[in-house]
Amino acid sequence: MPRPSLIAILALCLFAWSLPAPAAAQSQTPLQDVLQGVQEQVARPSRAQVGAVLEALQAADAPGTASFLNRWAAREVYERPEDGLFFYGREGPDRSLTLIDIDTDAEVAEVTTRDVNQIRVNAGVRREIEASLVTFELLATDRDRRIGALRTIARSPEPDHIPALETALAEEEDGAVATRMARVLDLLNARFASDSATRVAAIEGLSGDITTEARRVLNQILSTESQFATEIPEGTNVARIRTPGEDLDLIDAYARLAEAGLVPPRPGRNAIRDALRANVSDGEVAGIPVHRLNTEEARREAYRALQEQGTVPPLPTQAEMDEAVGHFVFFDVYEEPDTAVTDAARDALDSTRTAIGLWQFLSLSLDALSLASIFFLAAIGLAITFGVMRVINMAHGEFIMMGAYTGFVVQTLIPNYTTSLIVALPMAFLVTFAAGVALERTVIRHLYTRPLETLLATFGISIALQQLAKNIFGTQARPLTSPDWLAGSLALNDIVSVSTIRVAIFVMALAFLLALVLILNRTRLGLEVRAVTQNPGMAASMGINPDRINMLTFGLGSGIAGVAGVSIGLVAQVTSEMGANYIVQSFMTVVVGGVGSVFGTLAGATLIGALQKGIEWFNPGNTLAAQTFMVLFIILFIQFRPKGIVALKGRAAGD
């Protein structure tokens, strides 16, 4: 029977080989016609004659050849004596057999096993077939089949693949495929090449390669096993010498000697407990009351008392264990005996680890940038209202929530996710813009000079809006599904990958940044907003209506929060409390970046996103701790720079 590894390779390849190839990739010669040209060799295979069959199949490259080779090796091919044709067979009850056409897979006839000849290949022929399967796919005219074969070999490499790869590489004309072949050949040569120089050269070619296959090969070469001896045998490829009590636990070292029968075994905790239980008499163990045996030290003391009585095996002391292990050297030895190979593998793996560290830093930076873009979208609307109007709007998070629910409603009405997203973005802006204007006209305008009352009023409004959302949509999270073209991820390599939806949110954040810069610097509304920000009294004397500007500004900030809610809803759960999760980060972003500055908000979002991801990297899995340390850092930051990263200039800076 074939080896398990080869069976796995054939099984992995079979699916790719069974896919129909393009018309230009394979000849249209029926496989049956090719086999009839070597009928005698197929029907009565031998190791001396199987080469002619394989050469004929390789030259013809007929559809279904790989499947035939697999079934031929598995003894699933039958010959019909009267005409010499070959069929696949599917066995049934009572020795019945269904003949299947090898070209069309159609059922041809129902016969018995006596009516046909089963072709039985021996082990030598089977090995030739298995080797030819790899070569067959590596030399296929279809590029995808060659790449599929390389992918399969990289997953399950075998020494027998090296000659096939060398042959295929010599004939490969596609540069990209040839590069891939050379890399896979390096993987195989690094592990299986017969001479040291070839292996070292192949390993050096893997230096800095961060792919899973390359790292697996290097780690397999550097695999070790622990040994001990009175002295290290000459010629041993030692990876590391361990010192008991320092980098090797003394008890573990002693246990290894005990397993080898070199020292008496040391009773463990369970053995000590069982011995004490077996020697309880009148509520005591060796004169020590049972209720005192509640600590490890007390139990050992009782065990030593039993030891002095000769009741239990001796418990070695620290000094005795030190003396016992002191007669031996404990070391890790490479399973690979060639020191040149292991030295090259260590250097290559060190280079790979350096590359992995750089790519991990890039991945962390992309995560921080993604988080910063979310914080920026959530905070930019607050930056406008807080910066221009000096209004502490605690209901800003609920405008984010309102935008997310608007997206959910639109998606319910328009099942097409792409169309619904296109409609939801402007719709969320209009809904939250109107809600912001209504809030400003009814509440905020009466509290401009009373910040404490403004905070309390907007906090109460935020609670009311949350309850209203619960009454309308319920307490369960509502889905806001992204289109299929946003559902995937962009993978640079095995380490760096970023979801497409986060890339889209980053692009949207940039779009908002550019739009706000243009509005504030290139439009009349922007000029009036900047004038009111710097000096409301002077702006009013120049004919600008501060009341109208405040209304439009608050509406604009609320509308942007609504659009941010749609974006955030694609990556977070849409609930009535979702806004509360972003209000604190939004205020921190605005304050750290600089009140009233768009670029300050961008800088603040970038700093907070990078800080949170950096802390999470040092303490993974503990987001709460990361947020706590982040708040502490921001408190310290504000002590040294109270006006933020980008402080306002001019008269407004003194407000």
Task: Read off the pLDDT of residues 367-406 as tens digits, 9 standing for 90 and up.
Answer: 889 888 888 888 888 887 776 667 788 888 899 999 999 9
What is the Cβ-side half-sphere exposure of residue 162, based on CA atoms within 13 angstroms? 15
Do 62 and 34 touch, CB atoms closer than 8 A?
Answer: yes
Query: What percent of the chain lies above the pLDDT cut of 70?
Result: 92
Element (H, E) at 88: strand 86-91
pLDDT for 172: 86
Mean local confidence (pLDDT), 116-125: 85
Q: Examine the pLDDT at 622 and tell me if it is beyond 80.
A: no
| Residue entry with tokens 């397999």 | 220
pLDDT for 519: 84
Record the pTM.
0.67
Polymer length of the chain: 655
Label residue 650 left, alpha or beta by phi (over 0 means left) and psi (-120 to 50 means alpha).
Answer: left
pLDDT for 229: 92
User: Torsions phi, psi of 568, nearest 5?
Assistant: -70, -35
181 pairs with which residues across the strands? none
Q: What is the DSSP string of 208-262?
A: T--SHHHHHHHHHHT-EEEEEESSPPTT--EEEEE-BTTTB-HHHHHHHHHHTTS
What is the Cβ-side half-sphere exposure of residue 359, based on CA atoms within 13 angstroms? 18
Condensed to tens digits (0 to 9), the pLDDT of residues 450-463 reads 878 888 898 999 99
**Coil, helix or strand at residue 79:** strand
Q: Examine the pLDDT at 429 and tell me if it is beyond 90.
A: yes
Element (H, E) at 112: strand 107-112
Q: What is the DSSP string of 549-613?
A: HHHHHHHHHHHHHHHHHHHHHTTS-B-TTTTHHHHHHHHHHHHHH-TT-HHHHHHHHHHHHHHHH
Lowest-confidence pick of 72-86, 530-544, 573-587, 592-606: 530-544
Residue 517's CB is within 10 A of a number of other CB atoms, namely 13
- Reported as a pLDDT band with limits 50, 70 and 90, residue 10 is very low
| Residue entry with tokens 């950096």 | 614
Residue 282's CB is within 10 A of a number of other CB atoms, namely 7
Alpha helices (runs of H) in 19-77, residue ranges in sequence order: 31-37, 39-43, 50-60, 65-73
Q: 372-401 in b/e burial notation, b at 16+ Cβ within 10 A?
A: bbbbbbbbbbbbbbbbbbbbbbbbbbbbbb
Q: For the chain, first and last CA: distance in Å?
A: 86
Element (H, E) at 136: helix 123-138
Tokens representing 493? 């390599």
Condensed to tens digits (0 to 9), the pLDDT of residues 512-571 reads 888 888 888 888 888 887 787 777 778 788 888 888 888 888 888 899 889 989 988 888
pLDDT for 12: 36
Q: Examine the pLDDT at 7 and tell me if it is beyond 60.
A: no
Q: Examine the pLDDT at 412 and tell me if it is beyond 80.
A: yes
pLDDT for 63: 80
**Coil, helix or strand at residue 546:** helix
Do 180 and 147 touch, CB atoms closer than 8 A?
Answer: yes
Condensed to tens digits (0 to 9), the pLDDT of residues 291-350 reads 888 887 888 888 888 877 778 877 787 888 888 889 899 999 999 999 999 999 999 999
Q: Examine the pLDDT at 34 and tell me if it is beyond 60.
A: yes
Q: Tell which residue, 66, 82, 92, 80, has the closest CA to residue 118.
A: 80
Q: Examine the pLDDT at 222 and tell me if it is beyond 70.
A: yes
Do 488 and 500 touch, CB atoms closer than 8 A?
Answer: yes
Please state the domain extents for the chain.
4-156, 371-581
Residues 6+ apart with CB under 8 A from 261: none
Q: Examine the pLDDT at 5 and tell me if it is beyond 70.
A: no
Do 192 and 207 touch, CB atoms closer than 8 A?
Answer: no
86 pairs with which residues across the strands? 79
Single-letter amino acid code for the residue at 37 = G
Residue 31's CB is within 10 A of a number of other CB atoms, namely 20
Q: Tell which residue, 133, 135, 193, has the closest CA to residue 159.
A: 193
What is the Cβ-side half-sphere exposure of residue 548, based on CA atoms within 13 angstroms? 8
- For the chain, how big is the Rg over CA atoms in Å? 38
Residues 6+ apart with CB under 8 A from 594: 600, 601, 603, 604, 643, 644, 645, 646, 647, 648
612 against 438, higher pLDDT: 438
Tokens representing 373? 């873009």
pLDDT for 21: 38
What is the Cβ-side half-sphere exposure of residue 203, based on CA atoms within 13 angstroms? 29
Q: Tell which residue, 591, 583, 323, 273, has the closest CA to residue 459.
A: 583
Q: Examine the pLDDT at 595 and tell me if it is beyond 80.
A: no
What number of H helices and E strands is found in the chain? 26, 12
pLDDT for 623: 65
Condensed to tens digits (0 to 9), the pLDDT of residues 148-194 reads 888 878 877 878 788 888 888 888 888 888 988 888 888 889 988 88
Q: Tell which residue, 125, 183, 145, 129, has the closest CA to residue 63.
A: 145
Q: Tell which residue, 508, 504, 501, 480, has the closest CA to residue 414.
A: 480
**Coil, helix or strand at residue 477:** coil
pLDDT averaged over every residue in the chain: 83
pLDDT for 24: 37
